[in-house]
Amino acid sequence: MAQFIAYRNSNNRTKKLYPLLLDIQSNLLDELRTTIVIPMSPSSISGASAITKLCPQIDIDGKSYIAMTQQLAGVDRSILGKETYDLSAYRSEIIAALDFIISGI
């Protein structure tokens, strides 16, 4: 699995609020059964309350999503299906959000 790939959320309870899960874990850890993801919410739902540096806006196929970095979670890789979107173009914004949540800068 590649870093910065978004997957469709298959969980019926959460997929309306978080339709995409962004895998942020390093490719060097592919042998682990789990991976770390950031839930992504449509900006129409979460945009007004988002802290821009913590929750970067990501545009996909003409739609805006907010990366909800403060809600990152470890998940079993088996729940992630087919790779949906390559978001490596947003690498700098995602890394900056992770730096902000951990170190405050």
The CATH number of whichever domain residue 68 belongs to comes to 2.30.30.110
CA 28 to chain centre: 18
Do the strands 57-60 and 73-76 form a parallel or antiparallel pair, or are they unpaired? unpaired
51 is in which domain, residue-wise? Answer: 5-103
Please count the structural domains in the chain: 1
For residue 23, the cross-strand partners are 5, 37
Tokens of 61: 């196929």
Residue 52 is predicted with a pLDDT of 86
> What pTM was computed for the model?
0.92
Question: Mean pLDDT for each 10-residue chunk of the chain (105 residues)?
Answer: 92 94 94 96 80 93 96 95 93 97 91
- Phi first, then psi: give them for residue 4, nearest 5 degrees: 70, 30
Place of tokens 């949540």: 101
